[in-house]
Structures are given as structure tokens and as C-alpha cells.
Amino acid sequence: MSTTLRETGGASAALDNDQFLTFRLASEEYAVPILRVQEIKGYSAVTPIPNAPSYIKGVMNLRGTVMPVLDLRAKFGFEATEFTKFTVIIVVNVGAKVVGLVVDGVSDVLKFDHDAIEPPPTLGGDLDTSHLTGMAKQGERLVALLDLERIVGLESLSR
């Protein structure tokens, strides 16, 4: 059974590592572990980095820390779209790094029981699910759980 943070009693429930922040990219729903989320910011301009991969929007100053900002739409190969008032930057901790992830909008904080999470699909061929840690089920709804280390590519950030 999945519940929202509001239903489980507030901040104390966020200490449970089975909780995930869900967000939208295009018409799909994704999630990251809530304990990895530092904050959620409205989208603001970033400073571009010359010769960076297309999914790296640039960097921004977050209270004295220069933070890379990745556009998950571009990273996943989705069609580009105009940013709206719902577009946000989810600031996450990945290893010792702080990274911003641009998403179309945040949805909710959900708690998934262990039996509601299945491994990512393996169909072989060109299907790359290495960026997923699993698929969480809530009724007919499926939420893709993201592997932040693989998405961010820690080896490329440590240079």
C-alpha cells in the first residue's frame, strides 16, 4: 500500500527510507528516494558550460556551492519543451556531490511497501534499464525508481 507524507504523520514519516519523491517527465512518472532530496527549487537561469553534453543545462550557485544542473528530459531522450511555472529543479545528494535535476513538476511523496517494488524489466536488445532501480506499483499506476548514481554519472562529475 502506498501513502503520502500527509497521510503518515508529517516529517517523522520522511525518515523511512521507503519513501520517494515522485515527479513528472512528459507523461511518465518517476521517483527518487526522499532521503536523497535536499530541496526543490523553482526553475531559474543557469550558467551554460561550453562543450558540455546536451543534457547538462549548466551550473548554478546554490548558497555558495557551484552545482551542475541536468535536464532529465534531454538525458532520457524526450522531446524538448518550454519550461512552465511547474518546472522545478530537484536538488539531490549523489555521493559527496550536490546536483540539480530539471523536471516537469513534482507530484507527491509516496511510501511503497517492499512487495510493491519489482526489478526493472529486462527485455534484452536495445532496452537500457540501467538507470532504474525498480518499478513501484500502486494500483494500476507504475512509477519508475531512478538510480541517481547512474543518471548523474559520478565518474564524470569527479573530474
pLDDT at 130: 77
- Dihedral of the alpha carbons of 93, 65, 29, 76, in degrees to the nearest 10: -100
Q: What is the pLDDT of residue 126?
A: 62
89, 43 Cβ separation under 8 angstroms: yes
pLDDT, tens digit (0-9, with 9 covering 90-100), for 63-77: 999 999 999 999 988
Which pTM value belongs to this model? Answer: 0.81
Show the domains of the chain with their CATH numbers. Answer: 3-157 (2.40.50.180)
The residues of the chain scoring below 70 in pLDDT are 1-17, 123-128, 154-159
Q: Supply the pLDDT for residue 16.
A: 45
Give the separation between CA 27 and CA 104, rounded to whole angstroms: 9
Q: Cα–Cα–Cα angle for 128, 134, 135, nearest 5°?
A: 100
Write out the DSSP string of the chain: --EEGGGGTGGGGGGSTTEEEEEEETTEEEEEEGGGEEEEEE----B--TT--TTEEEEEEETTEEEEEEEHHHHTTPPP----TT-EEEEEEETTEEEEEEESEEEEEEE--GGGEEPPP---TT---TTEEEEEEETTEEEEEE-HHHHHTHHHH--
CA separation for the pair 134, 31 (Å, rounded): 10
Looking at residue 18, its pLDDT comes to 82
- Tell me which residue has cell 519513501: 19
**According to the model, what pLDDT value does residue 156 have?**
47
